[in-house]
Structures are given as structure tokens and as C-alpha cells.
Amino acid sequence: MRLSGPLLDRMDITIEVMPIAPAELARAPAGEASTAVAARVKAARAAQRARYGVDGPPNNAEASLAQLQQGIEAEAAHLLEVAATRLGLSSRGQVRSLRVARTIADLAGSGMIRRAHIAEALAFRHRMPGRVAA
């Protein structure tokens, strides 16, 4: 199913997964342990609580644009601006990409949103026919 414009902008992350042959799946390397992922998520949530305080939003999903923009490197902000133009992102789409990038940075243990975090967040946006990849 292909989604379009305004509806797509209401989703933070979309990915398309292609089927994998059973033989290929059997040869896949072991993934990261759930305990390691859980520890990283716990640390990211603690970083969000420390950033926003007890009276602030509980997580990045509820943070304001001004709160999200704190701690973004200039190169990262520029990439988001360029990508918004190239991909035809609405204001909502830009903010949602910034939310995802902030969460990616938190999961990586980074206090700053870097260019790589923006690039990864943009990669999670569903590519529509006619859109150019950032």
C-alpha cells in the first residue's frame, strides 16, 4: 500500500520490508541482545527526562519544536532544511523527522543531534514515487 502527502506526514517512521528466503534468514548473523537494547532505551528515556525536566514533556514525541531544536548541530539543521525542500516535506514532516532524529541521537548516547542522526531519520521516511532521496 502506498501512502501519500498529508497522511504520510502523520507517521514518524515507515519502512518497506522485502521477503527474505528461509535459507538467507538461516545464515543471518545473530542480532543484538534484547537486554542491550532495553538498556539503551532506558538510558535514552532518562536523557529525555533530564533534558525536559519533571514539568516538561515526558519524551521527544511530546516536545515542542523549540525544545527539539535545542542541541542540533548547524550541519544537521542544514541537512534537514535541504531535505525538506528536495523531498517536499511539509512543516509537520520536518518536525516529525526532527523528533525521530532526536530519539536516534538519544539512543546513540549523543547530547547533540548530528548530521548522521538527521540522515538516518530521513531514511525512515517512506519514499514516494517521484521523490528524490536526500
CA dihedral 56, 69, 106, 109 (to 10 degrees): -120
Please, what's the b/e burial string for 95-127 (b: 16 or more CB within 10 A of its CB; e: otherwise)?
bbbbbbbbbbbbbeebeebbbbbbbebbebbee
pLDDT at res. 124? 85
> pTM for this one?
0.77
pLDDT at res. 129? 46
The secondary structure element, H or E, covering residue 52 is helix 34-52
pLDDT at res. 111? 93
Q: What averages of pLDDT result for each successive group of 10 residues across the chain (134 residues)? A: 55 73 87 94 95 94 93 96 91 93 96 97 70 46
Q: Quote the CA–CA distance of 75 and 98 in Å, as a whole number.
A: 13
